[in-house]
Structure 1
Amino acid sequence: MENPLLLFPQLNISASKDKPYYKVTKSAIKEEPHKASKPGSVSPEEAVKWGESFDKLLSEKAGLDAFTKFLKTEFSEENIEFWIACEDYKKSKNAHELLPKAKTIFETFIQKDAPKEVNLDFHTKEVTSQSMGQPLRSTFDAAQSTVYRLMEQDSYPRFLRSAPYLGLLQARPAARAPLRRRSRSFTVSDFKGVRPDLTVW
């Protein structure tokens, strides 16, 4: 009896599913990687819009993905992960979802010595902590706003000066045209007087 051959599509297992915040953020970012990772999927025109405001950058999936990758190079990705978790938290459909999600976010990003602790002032941390008993959709608003401003004033300007972002701005079709012309002329001159085996083509 033959054993059936099972084929599986390539799976992306790079996400850290063992970390508690993954459960909170997965629904918000699950569509990110495949869209933004394709070469040339971001046009210079799109990239220009990211430079208009921090809000426009975060409102587009490719922009959010590019900014997240940049923060990883600075070892400060906990800020954007917290922001994404808060966005997902506010989309909770009922009160029963709020408590476990709030507990996960608090333990991952806010409490003292949390594995992904974000930089919050004492007052904001205290107000957030006090609302954990009966969390509301607005429980993390103050903390999220603080982290948003931190990224907007600190990380965002550096992102706009980074090599990956500047590279997106310069990836214009006109810049690739000379390469195609040289390629054709080279092919013609290269095969003058030569009889290649065209069957390989």
Structure 2
Amino acid sequence: HHKIQNAQHPIKSYKRSEETSKEAKIRAKEKRNRLSLLVQKPEFHEDTCSSRSGHLAKETRVSPEEAVKWGESFDKLLSHRDGLEAFTRFLKTEFSEENIEFWIACEDFKKSKGPQQIHLKAKAIYEKFIKTDAPKEVNLDFHTKEVITKSITQPTLHSFDAAQSRVYQLMEQDSYTRFLKSDIYLDLIEGRPQRPTNLRRRSRSFTCNEFQDVQSDAAIWL
């Protein structure tokens, strides 16, 4: 009897160790799965939700009350950073963002310090927005363009004043009126989430954010 017990003991031991081994494998597999989920979850969240959360941050940043003020005057719209951003998004849907980009560039140009910076920035603005067949040519009358062309070799801080004023009036009388009726603006004043806009791809253009903390490096224009 004693011998039989001893003979059975290794079998029980083997079965027990086999079960322990299976349980350990199952636990190890579960642990790997959990670790895999933990590793993947942030990546999934980052890939799919980061841009969404970025949009939400922008959406909730503007209160309907603030957006309503933009309808009081074109100047109030442009003087508010988020208003400028919303108006720029609207112009992009109409493919006429060069107007607001030129206006922003002129605002920055007037902050230029020193003759060298004035000369470099003036030349860059002329090349990008003013000259015939410029990549972002704005709609100016012949006389205004001619005055700028003649003075571009010796520009002053006021070289683009007339052109900027002209573009401002065009946007105020035309684009601003349509902006106030657009979904982009109506969604803001009614507190609705921003809708995705399908925009054409263009060569790199200035955005309003680039001019908030613009530095005195003329390379940004080139």
Shorter-normalised TM range: 0.5 to 0.7
Q: Which residue of 1 aligns with 2:216?
A: none
C-alpha contact 1:82 1:109 (8 A) present in aligned 2 = yes
Aligned amino acid, residue 145 of structure 1: S
Q: CA deviation at 1:45?
A: 0.8
The equivalent of 1:162 in structure 2 is 182
Is 1:80 aligned to 2:100, yes or no? yes
Which residue of the partner structure matches residue 48 of structure 1?
68
CA offset at residue 39 of structure 1? 2.2
* Structure richer in helix, relative to its length: 2
Q: Flag structure 1 segments of 5+ consecutive residues without an equivalent.
A: 1-9, 11-33, 173-201
Partner residue in 2 for 1:64: 84
Where in structure 1 do 4 or more consecutive aligned residues deviate above 3 Å?
34-37
Deviation at residue 37 of structure 1 after TM alignment: 5.7
Q: Which residue type is aligned with residue 145 of structure 2?
A: K
| Alpha-carbon offset, residue 63 of structure 1 | 0.3
Q: Determine which structure has greater relative contact order: mean sequence separation of CA pairs < 8 Å that are 6+ residues apart, divided by chain length.
A: 2
Partner AA of 2:58 in structure 1: K
Q: Normalising by structure 2, what TM-score? A: 0.60
The one-letter code matched in structure 1 to 2:158 is S
Cα distance between partner residues in 1 of 2:140 and 2:56: 30
Which residue does the alignment assign to 1:112? 132
Question: Counterpart of 2:76 in structure 1: which amino acid?
Answer: K
**Shift in CA distance, 106/37, structure 1 to aligned 2, threshold 3 Å:** farther
Map of 1:125 onto structure 2: 145
- Please tell me the residue identity of whatever aligns with 1:129: T
Aligned equivalents of 2:73, 2:178: Cα separation in 1: 13
Q: Give the Cα separation in 2 of the matches to 1:106 and 1:98.
A: 12
Structure 2: unaligned runs, 5 residues or longer:
1-45, 47-53, 193-222
Name the residue aligned to 1:92.
112
Calculate the aligned-residue CA RMSD, in Å.
1.8
1:145 counterpart = 2:165: yes
Q: How many aligned residue pairs are there? A: 140
Q: For residues 13-52 of structure 1, what are the structure 2 equivalents within 5 Å? A: 38-52=58-72
Identity of aligned residues (%): 68
